Structure 1
Amino acid sequence: MSTADDGPWWRGAVIYQVYPRSFADGDGDGIGDVAGIRSRLDHLAALGVDAIWFSPWYPSPMADAGYDVADYRDIDPVFGTLAEVEALIAEAHAVGIRTIVDVVPNHCSDAHPWFQAALASPDAPERELFWFRPGRGPDGARKPTDWVSPFAGDTWTRTTNPDGTPGDWYLHLFAPEQPDFNWDHPRVRAEFEDILRFWLDRGVDGIRIDSAAMLAKDPTLPEATPDGPSPFVDVDAVHDIYRGWRRITDSYPGDRALIGEVWLPDHERFANYLRPDELHAAFNFDFLGCAWDAVALRACIDTTLTAHAPVGAPATWVLSNHDVTRHVTRYGRADTTFSFAAKREGIPTDLELGTRRARAAALLSLSLPGAAYVYQGEELGLWEVEDIPRELRQDPMYHRSGGVDPGRDGCRVPIPWTGDEPPFGFSPDGAAAPWLPQPADWKDRTVRAQTGDPTSMLELYRAAIRIRRTHPALGDGTMSWLPAPDGVLAFHRPPGFTCLVNLSAAAVPLPPHTERLLASGPLDDDLLPPDTAVWLRTADPRSAGPATA
């Protein structure tokens, strides 16, 4: 990262997301774990990333892949032990990699001791830590509100009293196994502030905050209306929570970062989370879901940078994560956008085209101002696995929708390391089968197969991150658009760096330059082919734009 000496690491970092269940299996049970991650740190060091974000690894019944947390201060035995995680944090630091843990503050597991105590008695004080409410109607049989879950299905579940009679209802914006905390209660706030300290004391460098805009609710529980503010997303009271969290992180030595998962269509409201006394950064989902189209991407980049500028926060650039269709697959479709509402399987996909575009998108995302996120397997060019048998699917989104929503298992398939057949080195010899089946065609996508191949996706990522670390223009900073033909993105970053991405159907000439730093695919002499990106060393930005004829 070129800005390491100029500001906090998180402003221009390349951050790699590890989904622990699918990264590497150390003990042979077919499920990834901390031992596996520790054994593969050399891969991440060779890739050149600045930090690792670990998806939840806490004790959990796994109703939602660990986002239903039963204990925020320990590690689920399927992944290992807290002592192993402490060793992992130290080993990552030793090779120059920071660590970010995922905290899930909107809800916990229904197995959490607080919720179990709340269920045990209608008079339990722990009920105030959640949203228990009587139902509507004379017999309380109607749920308290008609709120719609982003997770498909109802948002309220009725309890049964210890004597067997119907009881109150409790709120869960996600699955019924994930009751929402009542953040109006000081005990909830104090608990999570202590959880933050617990992990910061163990040396983590950042906290990723799941569903960060959803913690606060309108306490009157009004119905949601199409034109009015949401009673459970982006309620103003949430900002006081993060001001308290910021005071805690600022009290620790070094640059500790709070990174929010914030899905909001209103860019001004989004920027409120990034004010100087709140979160340090937030995910950029507009970029992730944007079409492979020059006009749309330029508008998205402009909107992102404009939203971040007033609060002085760095932008983040994300192409994939554990919740969305992998972009090699998305970019090979006629409709290259992504949204949860339109997520479907069985759509015709040109993987060769998708891979070519994904390579160009990698150079685009890694050269924009701010921080970049890489989801595990993205650097290998993995595609969405869409033929997982029904009986092996585990995502509750699939089951809750009756199979209408394909769920997220397809982007969570264990990644391939070595060999010519599954499990591709994910597990040791003689291990149980991986928890989700890997495609046999991934034999050409393993880390070993791609290492040393200058045309591979892996070596493209390694080269791009290496240049990013050393070039003074990359990472945090500024950019300016250059004149370009229709369908071409061209921008300059001082000093001396130009990126071109050709999203048109015809090759375009390169601008004047002194060196070709890196290209996502073969160039045709001084022409940039379609669906290809190039990084150039250039002198004066006034002469850096490509010809427009």
Structure 2
Amino acid sequence: MSETSAGPSEIPWWHAGVIYQVYPRSFADSDGDGIGDLGGVIAKLDHLERLGVDAVWLSPVYASPMVDNGYDISDYQDVAPELGTLAQLDDLLAQAHARGIRIVMDLVVNHTSDQHPWFLDARSSTQSPYRDFYWWRPPREGHVGGEPGAEPTNWGSVFSGPAWEWDEATGEYYLHLFAPEQPELNWEHPPLREAVYSMMRWWLDRGVDGFRMDVVNMISKRVVPGSPGLEDTPLGEAPEDTSGGTDHTAYGDPAPHVFNGPRIHELLAEMHREVFDGRPAGLVTVGEMPVTTVEHARLYTDPARREVDMIFTFEHVDLDSGPGGKWDVVPLPLSALKRSLGAWQTGLADVGWNSLYWSNHDQPRPVSRFGDDSPEHRVRSATALGTVLQLHRGTAYVFQGEELGMTNAPFASIEDFDDVESLGHHREALARGEDPEAVLAALRTKSRDNARTPVQWTAGRHAGFTTGEPWLLVNPNHVEINAESQYDDADSVYSYYRRLIALRHDEPVVARGDFTMLVPEHEQLYAFTREHDGVRLTVVANLSSDGPLDPVAEGVPVPDGAEVVLTNEPDSGASDVLGPWGVRVLRS
């Protein structure tokens, strides 16, 4: 962020960089308790250094009851005992920095755990000095607290059920847009903001290199002018009562009141001034921002505004969701994906910056979702998808296991799932009378647990993740898909990712070049050019299991004399046909 004043020939490291997300619980277990930990991350730094990544985004390791696997923080300045200690975190920082790898901490400041000392004090009395750190409201007029319909607004929670939880002790409701154990912080309260900024400065002083900030565009809520209350949102049609006589409450969508609120730009600019001003160059801030448009992103990521360096959009990962939401899985035409990603490339071409990702801890595995995870096509579809994504304009993200071509897991029953969102959906869907097998099928496709199965290091017991019993099932295909078998295999996904990341670092056109989408309506070919300072990269991929396909015949211009600088099809020339999931990068 502080590099925004760099001269015209200088660019921030992340423009050509690759950030690797580590989800510690599932990365590597160093002590045999079945849970990944900081010791495991330290032990695998060689894997990351060899891959060539510039930074590690470390998912939350703070003290937490783990209702939402660490995104419910009970102490921002300590480490969860099952994940390690502060001393180990300091060791990780030192060892990563010695390898030239930065550490970006995940930061959750939209909500805390209900076990955080702030909240424990806040719910002890309406007169608590921490009461206004959170959103509290009395029951709806004419209702008794705790009864159905008494919630202050009709908002629903992301994790199912109402967004308000009754607190018997103090006679008020508190707001939680996620699990009831994740109360929302009140950013309208200046002492709360200063407490957060102080904590962030503490981490930067400790040596971290920036923050990825969870749902940070939710910190400014829309409050009814001049009122102590929040307002209802329009209801959809109430669900049919299928629970044997118990009424269902139809919850309204809180999104209009909680995303991109009226003070969000002011608050992010204040955060920058209070936390980052005067710091050495190289720190980075990434905002996770659901329900955010390109127009919003231009403001958030404009360097002159000094808010955040880049954001995560959700647009392209919502394209396979139907009218019924996330669990209503629909086919995804390639042309729709190109329109979405292309619009963000165009929209942030002159102002702002893109984050490029297929997956993270909240998304299923890309080779299963956007590719073909069959044994025949898995390797090529994983490498084709990686190439297409990383050669767009923006900072590239790799989620752990993506560099190995890991796939979704074969969850046999609901007992195999762990994720609070998945379990909540299953419970509510069955209560509505939905077909259990259809519900499970949707969970197998899009559950967050797909990303959270342990990283597959070896073909051995538990994939080399742990000597104990893993907290979440290990994908049985680790016998075929594992890091150990890929390190010295030139045709492996891991080896290909090393070449791809090196290309990002070595070719200035990747960081600096213009972007032009080619054949935008083609349903098999994904093709585009990057141009800068007389150099052109042409990227052409057959993102289908059909082939061969002739790019030239399909309208992709292949420059005369172009050099193939990267391909997953050995011995292919610039103008050759592409087989299933074949990709070529041409330099001219």
Could you say which TM-score interval applies, normalised by the shorter chain? Answer: 0.7 to 0.9
Alignment of 1:280 onto 2:317: no
Q: 1:228 to 1:190 in 2, by over 3 A?
A: closer
Deviations 1:135-171 (A, max 9, x none): 0124344000001222222100101127xxxx21110
Which of 391, 395, 420 is the aligned partner of 1:371? 395
Alignment of 1:260 onto 2:287: yes
Q: Distance in 1 between matches of 2:450 and 2:104?
A: 24
Q: Distance in 1 between matches of 2:286 and 2:520?
A: 34
Farther off after superposition, 63-72 or 464-473:
464-473
Q: Distance in 2 between matches of 1:138 and 1:228?
A: 21
1:469 is aligned to 505
Contact residue 145 and residue 223 of structure 1 kept, 8 A: yes
Alignment of 1:444 onto 2:497: no
Shift of 1:229: 7.6
Shift of 1:355: 4.8
Q: TM-score, normalising length from structure 2?
A: 0.82
1:6 is aligned to 10
Which of 360, 363, 367 is the aligned partner of 1:321? 360
1:215 is aligned to 219
Which of 475, 481, 492 is the aligned partner of 1:456? 492
2:233 is aligned to 224
**Structure 1 residues 23-102: aligned runs within 5 Å:** 23-102=27-106
Identity of aligned residues (%): 38
Q: 1:394 to 1:194 in 2, by over 3 A?
A: same
Alignment of 1:185 onto 2:189: yes
Contact residue 422 and residue 438 of structure 1 kept, 8 A: no
Q: 1:175 to 1:306 in 2, by over 3 A?
A: same
Alignment of 1:426 onto 2:452: no
Contact residue 503 and residue 531 of structure 1 kept, 8 A: yes
Q: 1:412 to 1:138 in 2, by over 3 A?
A: closer
1:251 is aligned to 278
Q: Distance in 2 between matches of 1:415 and 1:228?
A: 35
Contact residue 48 and residue 466 of structure 1 kept, 8 A: yes
Q: 1:155 to 1:483 in 2, by over 3 A?
A: closer
Contact residue 139 and residue 172 of structure 2 kept, 8 A: yes
Shift of 1:267: 2.2
**Structure 1 residues 108-507: aligned runs within 5 Å:** 108-136=112-140, 137-140=142-145, 141=147, 142-161=150-169, 167-220=171-224, 221-225=230-234, 230-247=256-273, 248-276=275-303, 277-289=306-318, 293-310=333-350, 312-332=351-371, 350=374, 352-353=376-377, 355-387=379-411, 389-403=413-427, 404=439, 406=443, 407-418=447-458, 420-427=459-466, 431-482=467-518, 486=522, 487-488=524-525, 489-494=527-532, 495-503=535-543, 505-506=546-547, 507=549
Any stretches of 5+ residues in structure 1 without a counterpart?
334-348, 539-549
The residue identity in structure 1 corresponding to 2:137 is: R
Q: Distance in 2 between matches of 1:367 and 1:309?
A: 14
1:508 is aligned to 550
2:436 is aligned to none
Q: Distance in 2 between matches of 1:216 and 1:484?
A: 37
Q: Distance in 2 between matches of 1:309 and 1:516?
A: 26
Deviations 1:369-417 (A, max 9, x none): 1110000000010011131553343211122223547342221011111
Q: 1:252 to 1:295 in 2, by over 3 A?
A: same
Q: 1:78 to 1:216 in 2, by over 3 A?
A: same
Q: Distance in 2 between matches of 1:125 and 1:216?
A: 21
Q: 1:229 to 1:330 in 2, by over 3 A?
A: closer
Q: Distance in 1 between matches of 2:310 and 2:506?
A: 23
Farther off after superposition, 504-513 or 197-206:
504-513
Shift of 1:301: 2.8
Alignment of 1:528 onto 2:578: yes
Q: Distance in 2 between matches of 1:397 and 1:4?
A: 45
Shift of 1:358: 2.7
Shift of 1:249: 1.4
Following TM superposition, where does structure 1 have runs of at least 4 consecutive aligned residues deviating by more than 6 angstroms? 226-229
Q: Distance in 1 between matches of 2:338 and 2:425?
A: 35
Deviations 1:112-154 (A, max 9, x none): 0011112222332322111111001243440000012222221
Farther off after superposition, 211-220 or 222-231:
222-231
The residue identity in structure 2 corresponding to 1:456 is: S
Contact residue 528 and residue 539 of structure 2 kept, 8 A: yes
Contact residue 513 and residue 536 of structure 1 kept, 8 A: no
Q: TM-score, normalising length from structure 1?
A: 0.87
Secondary structure of the equivalent of 1:231? helix
Farther off after superposition, 529-538 or 12-21:
529-538
Secondary structure of the equivalent of 1:535? strand
The residue identity in structure 2 corresponding to 1:193 is: Y
Any stretches of 5+ residues in structure 2 without a counterpart?
1-6, 225-229, 236-252, 321-331, 428-438, 553-557
Q: Distance in 2 between matches of 1:239 and 1:9?
A: 25
Q: Distance in 1 between matches of 2:457 and 2:8?
A: 30
Q: 1:417 to 1:138 in 2, by over 3 A?
A: closer
Shift of 1:480: 3.0
Secondary structure of the equivalent of 1:74? strand
Q: Distance in 2 between matches of 1:267 and 1:331?
A: 23
Would you say how many aligned residue pairs link Structure 1 and Structure 2? 512
Contact residue 338 and residue 520 of structure 2 kept, 8 A: no
Q: 1:499 to 1:513 in 2, by over 3 A?
A: farther
- Provide the aligned C-alpha RMSD in A: 2.5
Q: Distance in 2 between matches of 1:484 and 1:63?
A: 43
Q: Distance in 2 between matches of 1:15 and 1:249?
A: 20
Shift of 1:66: 0.5
Shift of 1:273: 1.8
